[in-house]
Amino acid sequence: LLLESGGGFVQPGGSLRLSCAASGFSFNTYDMNWVRQAPGKGLEWVSSISASGSHTNYAESVKGRFTVSRDNSKNTVYLEMSSLRVEDTAVFYCVKESTTIFGVIVRGGAFDIWGQGAKVTVSS
């Protein structure tokens, strides 16, 4: 189970931190991702963090503005968002990535568990 929190309304240029609490699996053995969905639009991968937290990746659209981190002692992953833009308005999903499903190697991983989503609205 993944449970996001921290969404809300923020003005352009503002900051927000999303949290995602995980339970029901060995959190510290899985890479975690954030995927967002703008209103009425499709899915966009935002960021990933390795199981140990030592490696992070970002979509070009958020690079330099968003920071992903995790605390394995708390089974929680975070997305720190700054310099927010109107176009960042979206539902943000915390997603567990599995690179092996029933013994089958999934290169790059498949997103097998999703949170319920945290709504972020950026508007003046």
As measured in angstroms, the least distance from the Cβ of 39 to another protein is 12
Distance, in Å, from the CA atom of 116 to the CA atom of 45, rounded to the nearest integer, reads 16
For another protein, which residue of 5, 28, 57, 121 counts as binding (CB under 8 A)? Answer: 57
Q: How many CB atoms lie within 10 A of CB 95?
A: 24
Amino acid letter, 5? S
Measured CA angle at 21 (ends 71, 104), to 5 deg:
85
**Burial class of 110 by CB neighbour count within 10 A (0 to 12, 13 to 18, 19+):** middle
Site for another protein in 78-97 (CB under 8 A): 93
Q: Applying CB under 8 A, does 116 fall inside the site for another protein? A: yes
Q: Applying CB under 8 A, does 25 fall inside the site for another protein? A: no
Closer CB to another protein, 102 or 124, in the complex? 102
* Total residues at interface with another protein (CB under 8 A): 21
| Interface with another protein (CB under 8 A) | 42-45, 57, 59, 93, 101-102, 104, 106-112, 114-117
